[in-house]
Amino acid sequence: MYEKDKFLNPPPRNVPWPIRVRVLFSGFYNQFGWLWLGFSLIFMWVFPANIDFTSWYQFRAPNIEITQGTITHQQKTNFSEGGSDNSDGMPIYISHYSYHDLKNKEYKGKSYSVGSYSDIGQQVKIEYIKNNPSISRIEGLKNKPMPIWTAFIILFPFIGLTFIIIGVSQGLKANYLLAAGKLASGKIKNKAATNARINNQTVYKMIFEFQAEDTKFYEAIAKTHLPQLLEDDEKEKLLYNPLNPKHAVLIDSLPGSPRIDNQGHFLAGSIFQAMACLIIPVITILGHSMVLYLKLFK
């Protein structure tokens, strides 16, 4: 936080890298976004490959032929469908079968069913694609263990990416203003609680009014679950873009509340805290990069 007798050198300013890193990667949007992305990508490696994306359009007349096939063996998978608080749901089974096309060429295939479908050696109806008899299924069953409606899980990583994009864009703007912004003082104009909470604390939207060098008044907005950081002085220090004063940031609302020394320079702050905010992004990137590498080259 700023003391009343402190000043800030005019731009361009040197902003130490620990401050830049914290402003760019700390904060709720960034940390939550990277955590959500890292967690949701775990499911992306498992589920999309097991979703039946194609059956709904592949197995439609007049594209298919019907023939008889024989169940050769059957096994229980690790997937299940349905279930409740008191039940794990019905297990999904994979049924392997053999069949012949119109030219009497033998093919093998597999289909998935909720529960055991048939006994080994039983005759079943097989649907196969006329132009590609190797693509087939037992009539009415799926080619993958999970139905297509479960594809909504693909949207989950995009939620994390959205938070990251918001957080990084805010961080880039803030870092630019730290280096090149004009200094001004803002007086609180409005404070209102939002529906959001961070660490079980209400997030407040706080609006500060300030006068730019063009003598006009503008507003700087901060959303924070720590409103006390912006209420300890009668006026709060902020930085704005002189070319577009609507772009402004309250310094005490930034991660770590960057401090200045008696010469008007930004203090670097804690290197440990700067590195700590990189832990989740680094683990997410390296962890999933390793999985991708193993899938491509193993």
Please give the average per-residue pLDDT across 233-251, as a whole number: 91
Delimit the domains of the chain by residue range.
17-41+155-297, 56-145
pLDDT at 5: 39
Residue 133's Cβ-side half-sphere holds a number of Cα atoms within 13 Å equal to 15
Please give the average per-residue pLDDT across 185-206, as a whole number: 90
Residues 214-234 have pLDDT tens digits of 999 999 999 988 888 888 888
Q: Which two tokens stand for residue 262?
A: 């008696």
Are 260 and 267 a contacting pair, CB within 8 Å?
Answer: yes
CATH 2.40.50 fits 56-145, yes or no: yes
pLDDT at 87: 57
Cα–Cα distance measured from residue 171 to residue 190, given in angstroms and rounded to the nearest whole number: 24
Query: What is the percentage of the chain residues whose pLDDT exceeds 90?
Result: 56
The chain-wide mean pLDDT, for the chain, equals 88
Please give the average per-residue pLDDT across 88-109, as a whole number: 91
pLDDT at 115: 84
Which backbone phi and psi does 10 adopt, to 5 degrees? -70, 160
pLDDT at 234: 85
> What sign does the dihedral 248-21-44-82 (CA atoms) show?
negative
Query: What is the percentage of the chain residues whose pLDDT exceeds 70?
Result: 95
Please give the average per-residue pLDDT across 51-65, as a whole number: 85
pLDDT at 2: 38
- Annotate 43-94 with DSSP letters as a single string: HHHHSGGGB--SHHHHS-TTSEEEEEEEEEEEEEEEEEE--BTTB--EEEEE
3-state secondary structure of 143: coil
Residue 86 has pLDDT above 60, yes or no: no
Residues 99-109 have pLDDT tens digits of 999 999 999 99
Are 280 and 34 a contacting pair, CB within 8 Å?
Answer: yes
DSSP 10: P
Q: Which two tokens stand for residue 9?
A: 């050198």
